[in-house]
Structure 1
């Protein structure tokens, strides 16, 4: 992926050089009108020859057609170039965007990185690149006007320099406002995203008006920054337009004076006015498009930074499927957003067929520990090893086929039940889907639905109840018999039947030689595990066989909240124990 990103960026140069050359042809052909007027006034009119006029007109029409054809080709190249950039880069950027929230970035900021691709595509397929590609060819027009008369050339050159200074001034004055615009845009999107995700709470607790006030404040700051940026761009565009018209009139006046003095022909007056307008038009267009230029440049810079993450050397290797151990070696984990230490020097080892329940007070670090084990929050120090190999050494396929995860906040994707269980695998095996659903104890419930496994669950699984969503997510975690199954409060929304199915699923994973780690708040789930770890204050204060840990409250500073039931059902026989 990283190499592909670098190749994509480097491959842009050759096409841009081609478009630059094509722009040169177009700008040279743009001299057609000036040459035509000079020949009509100085040759056809003075000679009174109609055939000469017809031939001049035919040649001019042919050149105009070529100019139009090349202009169309340039436009279509830029549109397709923009689409090609989007097609190649958007998936790479999206790959990084998906991972940004786990490194402390707000979801809205991650989405903004994804929109950078749209900004660049919109700019490349618009009028901005045309103005930029025409700018370097201004000397062609200046030379032409200079050949008509040096005075006109100096006047045109002075106007071009002055307008170029306006462009530079627009860049310098709008740079700070552009940064403010980007910052306020992200903040406004963060506020909107928070309100969207908490709509039910806002309505039910009468917080809607307060939420609107917060959004209004963020929106006003964004509008102010946008207005300041637009004011600068609009002001300089207006000044540029007026100066260009004044300069063209000055060229006509000076040209008329030189013609009266006998230093120029009548046709040269018209030609110089036309070419002066052509020479200054790219500067005028660049100033008008400067807001888009800055937005595209800012977005492209962020895209390169985003793709830079993919250029890191890949140390992963195709290792054999795991089957033996999970080892946590002295890991320390910090919060991505604040850098606060959440876990300190946690170590333990699990063998195939074992199940570990993590217990302890809320906020003690249990969820942080399982997220660290899965690599969602990279450990600051220490290592997570599977069969002795660091987690970073395992290929992507390791995560897709050997890890199952049921997060605390269950989230399903828009699609069918079968698609969600199979993790949207294009080559999903129906038998594996059925086996995962049966292991999670939800097969009978699914087949009773009108569309069965093809039931569309809607956005975030709205069609299903909270308990049904949790059981479908459990089936997703169990799909394809992963070696490591991590369950964060898997029974929080389950009834007695669902909890019984969960327990049986844990036992089946253990039977086939898998490892289960679960965060437990209900003591009833402990009957299905053989190992218990007590996490408190960011440390693993106790770890060992279930009976030893639960019956030894002296290991923790507060009494355990997990009294074992008097009658403990014996787990099924496990060959690996």
Structure 2
């Protein structure tokens, strides 16, 4: 279903649970009406039991009252369970979309470090389904019934109740106005402190070795102090008004009782003397939902802000389209007039790059730093969107190709090796259904199998956070094995031998030759010339433009004069006596 960009996806998801919302409202109304049980019991005891002095009537009223309380408790539990279930179903319904948008936002650099905020926001929304404030909102119909009954007793009581409700609403609005901004700022500062702490803990060895801990801790403490200051400001702003709200609630009971007594003395109280107490109870029931919302106001503010951020993110990052399934590629790569810039920028880092590779061809890419090599790698695997031009694999645009469909045919080793917390087998097998035969084949290709088998847990060895239990060279080989897993038809390697020793370098060259013989196309970006011996073609980039391209031997021949040192200038003769 195609959604209008103006339609809130979150709101549409909530509408799918209409039957649950209706059930919750019905149960809330019944629970609210059963909340009058104690008052009705008291009035009946004074009216029937005391006057008739009938023990049987007292027993019957007590049994009915206990039954009403039991039903009320049961309905509250069922309602709570229902709302909790709706929250879980809402999370299951939206989790793929939320995390997909978060993933795309990180790829496109639209979110910066806000990924953790998205997760916290989603959890805040889901947990609010079981918040007392939401249940209180469902009891608003009971409050309206209470107002109606007050007007039946006497219009003056009804208007007094309305004035009290308006006063309580005004106080709630004042709480919102005074505490919303500090609360939101406190949440933002808390997130900053959490992100900073998480980033710092990833570099504990560097911090410890160079004595950076006190300075880093001081920076974190500044962020934490800012969070606490805004939290205290919000609490201080709302504290006094919360006290006023509580005072109003208590005062209204006495006001209604006194007003009822005056009306009774004036013979204007419909229903007799008992209506004095009934009026006081009714106004309490009328204000109860609003009071509950005021008490939970910080949670209300948090969920409103979280909902708004999630809604904005989903509006800015549309869901991926389902593309038509394509046949399995063979590895023919064509780059046509490629112009590209980093996500969120219009300043090109690559201009006019174009070449073509048949299946089984190995292309080497060289050039100085900041020449656009890593940018080219990201474009070749469809991570970045080009400003102009296309990257085609077997004639299909790599960027719009469904990555779940294309992924098994691609291998990618980024310059910054990234391993995910899990076992060696899971990382090499790309966290899918692990085929141990293919996992072992990939590790043998990169010369890592013997090392893995020497570990106590073998392929089930956890790699730790960011692969921290492995050395730099071992991490790079694991990531290389992951890129070669499943015999992909196109493999893009960005500095694959930067952390490898001589044996690892030789294993890399052998792996490329083996995979090349099977028809795999390679693009190898490197600063080290050792791997160039297995390349068929060579691309030279400089300042984001294509300087040279062709067979490796020819390009190297053209590069040699440029690399040759210039002859030293002749030293002028110095005449004697000069």
CA–CA distance in 1 between the matches of 2:551 and 2:317? 42
Offset at 1:482? 0.4
1:127 to 123, 132, 136: 132
Q: In the alignment, what sits opposite 1:512?
A: 518
Q: Note if contact 2:97-2:319 (Cα within 8 Å) is conserved in structure 1.
A: no
Alignment partner, residue 25 of structure 1: 30
Alignment of 1:8-407 (within 5 A): 8-105=13-110, 108-264=113-269, 265-308=272-315, 312=319, 314=321, 316-336=323-343, 339-407=346-414
Q: CA deviation at 1:161?
A: 1.2
Equivalent runs, 1:432-451 vs 2, <5 Å: 432-451=438-457
Q: TM-score, normalised by structure 1?
A: 0.90
Deviates more, 1:485-494 or 1:408-417: 408-417
Query: Could you tell which deviates more after superposition, 496-505 or 446-455?
Result: 446-455
Secondary structure of the structure 2 residue equivalent to 1:404: strand
Counterpart CA distance in 2 for 1:378 and 1:199 is: 35
- The secondary structure found in structure 2 opposite 1:551 is helix
Contact 2:178 2:238 in 1 (8 A): no
Question: Secondary structure of the equivalent of 1:405?
Answer: strand
In structure 1, C-alpha distance between the alignment counterparts of 2:354 and 2:291, rounded to whole Å:
66
| Residues 75 and 312 of structure 1: CA distance in aligned 2, closer, same or farther (over 3 Å) | closer
| Residue 419 (structure 1) aligns with | 426
CA deviation map 1:10-42 (0-9, x unaligned): 413342232122212222222323333333334
The alpha-carbon distance between structure 1 residues 14 and 460, as it changes in their structure 2 partners (threshold 3 A), is same
Q: Structure 1 residue 462 and structure 2 residue 468: aligned?
A: yes
What secondary structure does 1:329 align onto? strand
Q: Deviation string for 1:287-335 (max 9, x for gaps)?
A: 1112111211222233334445775462522111111411122222222
Alpha-carbon distance between aligned partners in 1 of 2:106 and 2:412, rounded to the nearest angstrom? 17
How many residues are matched?
Answer: 558
- Distance, in Å, in 2 between the alignment partners of 1:366 and 1:380 is 16
Q: Which moved more, 1:328-337 or 1:121-130?
A: 328-337
Task: Return the offset for 1:164.
Answer: 1.3
Q: Give the aligned partner of residue 415 of structure 2.
A: 408
Which of 522, 529, 533 is the aligned partner of 2:528? 522
CA 1:536 to 1:406, structure 2 compared with 1: closer, same or farther past 3 Å? same
* Comparing 540-549 and 99-108, the one that deviates more: 99-108
> What RMSD over aligned residues (CA atoms) do the two structures have, in Å?
2.6
Distance 2:325 2:367 in 1: 37
Per the alignment, do residues 448 and 88 of structure 1 end up closer, same or farther by CA in structure 2, a change over 3 Å counting?
same
Q: Where does structure 1 lack aligned partners over 5 or more consecutive residues? A: 562-577
- 1:203-224 CA distance string (max 9 Å, x none): 2223222222222222222223
Hey, what's the Cα distance between the residues in 1 that align with 2:552 and 2:96?
46
Deviates more, 1:48-57 or 1:211-220: 48-57
Structure 1 residue 532: deviation in Å?
1.3
Matched residue, 1:572? none
Give the corresponding residue for 1:564. Answer: none
Q: Following the alignment from structure 2 to structure 1, what is the Cα–Cα distance between the partners of residues 450 and 163?
A: 83
Which residue does 1:573 correspond to in 2?
none
Check whether the contact 2:421–2:465 (CA below 8 A) recurs between aligned residues. yes
2: CA distance, partners of 1:488 / 1:245:
70
Offset, 1:433: 1.4
Alpha-carbon distance in 2 for matches of 1:279, 1:35: 16
Give the whole-Å Cα distance in 1 for the aligned partners of 2:564 and 2:28. Answer: 76
* Counterpart Cα distance in 1 of 2:456 and 2:530: 34
Per-residue deviation at 1:388? 0.8
Provide the secondary structure at the position in 2 that maps to 1:543. strand
Distance 1:416 1:233, change over 3 A: same
Change (3 A) 1:6 1:514: farther
> For 1:488, which of 494, 498, 507 is the aligned residue?
494
Deviations 1:63-116 (A, max 9, x none): 222222211111111122222222332343223323332222566411210122
Give the 3 Å change call, closer, same or farther, for CA 235–333 of structure 1 in structure 2. farther
Residues 172-219 of structure 1 show CA distances to partners (whole Å, capped at 9, x for unaligned) of 333433442343234333322332233322222232222222222222
The answer to whether the 8 Å contact 1:357/1:529 transfers is yes
Deviation (angstroms), 1:412: 1.6
TM-score by length of 2: 0.89
